[in-house]
Structure 1
């Protein structure tokens, strides 16, 4: 069963730096169903995207896609940060509630 927006909003990256980057940029859209962004931790929404490969997801994050601005408006994020944030949001990395 897919996560609700409330369950998604409760997820936080375990790494403190990533948690700060996530809270400052990604969380605003990736925990709001109406944003059309795939909800953090919702494998039902992320699995088809994940199937495209991490390189494709990173390129979309860097360039922007649909309503998502380039870099997700994370001005401090390095490509490695974006990779880690994508893994977290796609449910492929550790999260705490």
Structure 2
């Protein structure tokens, strides 16, 4: 290959590279804005002693969640599929012996954890009353 052809090929490659860079640069502001929007924090932490006046206040909860809502949001993962031996939702045979032990025992096990089930089924945002409501919902639908 002649020296002239090599130089010409290099110039073409350089031109294509510059054109691609110009296109990418023209798109970069929109892409950067989109990325910045996706990376915007969902909230903030205000530590004791910090000036928190400018910190946004989280919306107040509209009250406790229903047993069905808690089940669908947290419990269904294991109790829907029977993960790690969890009794399946809606399976009377799987729940009969557990129900026979009494609701107080079921509530206690759900709140504190029992065997493979972690405390509150790992629902860190659930109150004890919400966990109890979820247990009641499961039992009502599994007899």
TM > 0.5 between the two? yes
The answer to whether the aligner puts 1:82 opposite 2:137 as a matched pair is no
Distance 1:90 1:18, change over 3 A: closer
Distance 1:86 1:61, change over 3 A: same
Distance 1:27 1:89, change over 3 A: same
Q: For 1:38, which of 71, 80, 87 is the aligned residue?
A: 87
| 1:1-97 superposed matches below 5 A | 17-92=66-141
Give the 4+ runs in structure 1 shifted more than 3 A. Answer: 16-20
Distance 1:68 1:46, change over 3 A: same
Distance 1:79 1:88, change over 3 A: same
Instruction: Give the number of equivalent residue pairs.
Output: 78
Larger Rg: 2
Displacement of 1:17: 4.0
> Pairwise CA RMSD of aligned residues?
2.1
Displacement of 1:52: 0.7
Decide which structure has greater strand share. Answer: 1
Asked whether the 8 Å contact 1:42–1:91 carries over to 2, the reply is no
Q: What runs of 5+ residues in structure 1 fail to find an aligned partner?
A: 1-15
Displacement of 1:28: 0.4
Distance 1:75 1:53, change over 3 A: same
If asked which structure has higher relative contact order (CA below 8 Å, sep 6+), I would say: 1
Q: What runs of 5+ residues in structure 2 fail to find an aligned partner?
A: 1-64
